[in-house]
Structure 1
Amino acid sequence: MDIDVAAKALKELGHPTRLTLFRCLVKAGHAGLPVGQLQETLQIPNSTLSHHLSSLMSAGLVKQQREGRVLHCIPQFECLDGLIAFLQEECCSDEKC
């Protein structure tokens, strides 16, 4: 993962509401959650939720998929896995044996 991409993802996850939102989606799994259910769970106004979702989508952490009248938010586990791998890739590499 490119350092700029990692920095963007970490920046967006650095906000408490966005981190809570992303954790809800990760907990829900690969199917994600409908926007309405997220709003109900987090108890934040729709406009605020939309703003935070937009930030997570711009970082590649969330995608949205429409099914009829329902808009689902889906966590992008590939991005999450890449971010974790980026953070761990040089773990202990400077440590002497």
Structure 2
Amino acid sequence: MPGLIRGVARTAIVAGTATAVSNRVTRRQRGRWAAQGYDPYGPQQASYAAPPPAPVPPPPPPASGTPDPDMSARIEQLKQLGELKAQGVLTEAEFEQQKQRLLNG
């Protein structure tokens, strides 16, 4: 049992010392970076975030001389939705929702 207590105490001392040294190094680096006007731990812009998905473009104006301009516009919008889904801009659920809105509206 004394060996176990000694091992636990040694581990606690090593861990405490490592934590203290790490904190001191971090504080020293922050001080140096602050003097240079750079703070790596401060607020940062998320440059890795993906841009928000593009909104579905409005339907094009109906062309004259077509038999059913409303249906042509719907077909064109469905094609655009399909392209957005193929590009990964729209998820399957978003695609289905927009498709139903077009077909029912």
TM-score (norm 2): 0.24
TM-score (norm 1): 0.26
- Which protein has the larger Cα radius of gyration, Structure 1 or Structure 2? 2
Higher strand share: 1
**Greater relative contact order (Cα 8 A, min sep 6): structure 1 or 2?**
1
